[in-house]
Amino acid sequence: MCREISTRIDDIQGVYVVGGAVRDLILDRKPDDVDISVVGNAAAFSELLAVRLGANAPTTSQFLTYRIELASGPIDIVTARSESYATPAALPDVAPSSIVDDLKRRDFTVNAMGISLLATNWGNLVDPANGFGDIMRKRIRVLHDASFVDDPTRMYRAVRYAARLGFSLEPHTHELLAQSLGNVERVSGARLRHEFELILAEPTRVEVLRMAEEFGLLGAISPGLRIGTKALEILGRTSPENIEDMLAVVTFGLNAGEADQVAVRFDGPAAWNESITGGPRLASLVSVLDQEKLQRSEVADILSPIPLPAIRAYIAVGPPLPRRNRMIAYMDKIRFEKPEITGDDLIAAGIPESPVIGKLIELVKRAKLDGQVHSREEELKLAKSRLPGFLIAPKQ
Ligand code: CTP
């Protein structure tokens, strides 16, 4: 295999670290991952590198793209390419090309630099769009005027990088962004969702969302999508793994119509839809929770159909009315409480197996929540005493 590879090494004309890793190196930040661009035979280079690193053979996914998995993270290797967009916001057509073309197809100048890894010109910086200068000026700048039209997701990337690096948008880039907001509607739900996930995963997500709102990028997803100050504050504290909770906070305060629109636009899995639409569902029920006389079983009745992220968001962001304490009680205690007895205990006590068993257990559960039974014996006694009522339940 190695001999076979070495015969193909002549096909490798250039090897460059590209993109975020170069930007981060210049900024003295630790890169998250390493992207390598190969001019020529990227397959041969990937195989050789995998052998040298003692890694498994590279996997290949898209067009002439390879990945080597290492314990420290993946190395992605692409064949240097040019890209053209047949229609705006579609995926690009690609063809193998030079390193300069490969860098020029990218989103921002700060991401459009490469550092050579070949011994012949080791360490040379290739910077066709003066990304280095933009890093020094702390600005995010597109490489060409059609960048946001070709790929509207780049507008979200722009604010993500600006917030992360403490940069601002270069004025012309800012202008282009404002002119390109209408193109967001052409982006698929899946791609928008991906951008949103990346935003929420950023340690600086609060600043990203603040900028996204200011620049109209939230409204471009769905006109009703906006985010309040309290929600932003909470988002700064929520754990990034918990995307459903973050979504519920981001969409807190939307009315039912707005939330439905946002959910349709993201076109996400059930968990996304529930987090987004759970808020207005809860808001429509919640005033009952302020009533002074309310049994714990009634609290459970109201809150059990509501997705948990929506309740957590309400507790975090909502007004400090009595309802909030009831929600806290539900989240911390009520929802976990269940009778000591089970259906098997009722069967063992001589009650025939039937749907009545489930109804009796539910009845006992409510009684326990409301403090009417305090022991296993009392639970059994209650179930048995109520059995006749279920057996001759009046027709409704
Ligand atoms: N890219 C692009 N347009 C996109 C997505 C990515 O031009 N819509 C280019 C950028 O040049 C970027 C490279 O592809 O540098 C790799 O993308 P990605 O892995 O998302 O970003 P990184 O540069 O690795 O930056 P980071 O992971 O730090 O965000």
- 4: pLDDT confidence band, cut at 50, 70 and 90? low
pLDDT digits (tens, 9 = 90+) for 104-125: 999 999 999 999 999 999 999 9
* Cα dihedral across residues 310, 315, 318, 319: positive or negative: positive
Pocket test for ligand 1, best of 65, 104, 111 (most atoms within 8 A of CB): 111
Q: Which residue lies with its CA nearest to atom 15 of ligand 1?
A: 19
In this structure, the answer to whether residues 78 and 169 fall within a common structural domain is no
Q: Which residues of 154-187 are buried (b: 16+ CB within 10 A; e: fewer)?
A: bbbbbbbbbbebebebbeebbebbeebbebbeeb
Per-residue pLDDT, 393: 54
Domain membership of residue 202 (yes or no) is no
* Cα dihedral across residues 239, 242, 244, 245: positive or negative: negative
- Tokens read off for 72: 């420290």
Q: Of 89, 116, 131, which marks where a domain is finished?
A: 131
Q: Could you list the residue range(s) of the whole structural domain that residue 89 is in?
A: 1-131
Domain membership of residue 396 (yes or no) is no
pLDDT digits (tens, 9 = 90+) for 300-340: 999 999 999 999 999 999 888 889 999 999 999 999 999 99
In this structure, the answer to whether residues 81 and 119 fall within a common structural domain is yes
Residue range 162-189: mean pLDDT, rounded: 97
Q: Of 337, 366, 382, which marks where a domain is finished?
A: 337
> What atom in ligand 1 is closest to the CA of residue 160?
29
What CATH number is given to the structural domain containing 48? 3.30.460.10
Q: Is the CB of 33 under 6 A from ligand 1?
A: yes
Per-residue pLDDT, 236: 85
> What atom in ligand 1 is closest to the CA of residue 31?
28
In this structure, the answer to whether residues 142 and 169 fall within a common structural domain is yes
Please give the mean pLDDT across all residues of the chain: 91
> What atom in ligand 1 is closest to the CA of residue 19?
15
pLDDT > 80? residue 32: yes
Q: Is the CB of 107 under 6 A from ligand 1?
A: yes
pLDDT > 90? residue 94: no
pTM higher than the cut 0.85 = yes
- Report DSSP letters for 232-290, one per residue: HHHHTTS-TT-HHHHHHHHTTT--HHHHHHHHHHHT--HHHHHHHHHHHHHHHHGGGGG
In this structure, the answer to whether residues 375 and 264 fall within a common structural domain is no
In this structure, the answer to whether residues 32 and 114 fall within a common structural domain is yes
Q: Is the CB of 151 under 6 A from ligand 1?
A: yes
Which of 259, 318, 317, 254 has the alpha carbon at shortest distance from 286? 318
Residues with Cβ < 8 Å from 155, sequence gap 6 or more?
148, 177, 180, 181, 184, 215, 217, 220
In this structure, the answer to whether residues 1 and 127 fall within a common structural domain is yes
Q: Is the CB of 35 under 6 A from ligand 1?
A: yes
In this structure, the answer to whether residues 122 and 180 fall within a common structural domain is no
Q: Is the CB of 154 under 6 A from ligand 1?
A: yes
In this structure, the answer to whether residues 2 and 119 fall within a common structural domain is yes
Q: Is the CB of 93 under 6 A from ligand 1?
A: no
Q: What are phi and psi of 73, to 5 degrees?
A: 130, 170
pLDDT > 70? residue 392: no
Domain membership of residue 322 (yes or no) is yes
CB count in 10 Å sphere of residue 363: 18
Domain membership of residue 57 (yes or no) is yes
In this structure, the answer to whether residues 230 and 330 fall within a common structural domain is yes
- 352: pLDDT confidence band, cut at 50, 70 and 90? confident
In this structure, the answer to whether residues 125 and 153 fall within a common structural domain is no
- 148: pLDDT confidence band, cut at 50, 70 and 90? very high
What percent of the chain lies above the pLDDT cut of 70?
A: 95
In this structure, the answer to whether residues 127 and 14 fall within a common structural domain is yes
In this structure, the answer to whether residues 3 and 127 fall within a common structural domain is yes
Q: Is the CB of 153 under 6 A from ligand 1?
A: yes
Q: How many domains is the chain built from?
A: 4
What CATH number is given to the structural domain containing 169? 1.10.110.30
CB count in 10 Å sphere of residue 2: 10
- Tokens read off for 75: 């190395």
Q: How far is the CA of 318 from the centre of ligand 1 (A)?
A: 37
Rounded Cα–Cα distance for residues 244 and 234 (Å): 14
Domain membership of residue 148 (yes or no) is yes
pLDDT digits (tens, 9 = 90+) for 34-73: 899 999 999 999 999 999 999 999 998 777 899 999 988 8
Q: Of 189, 214, 239, which marks where a domain is finished?
A: 214
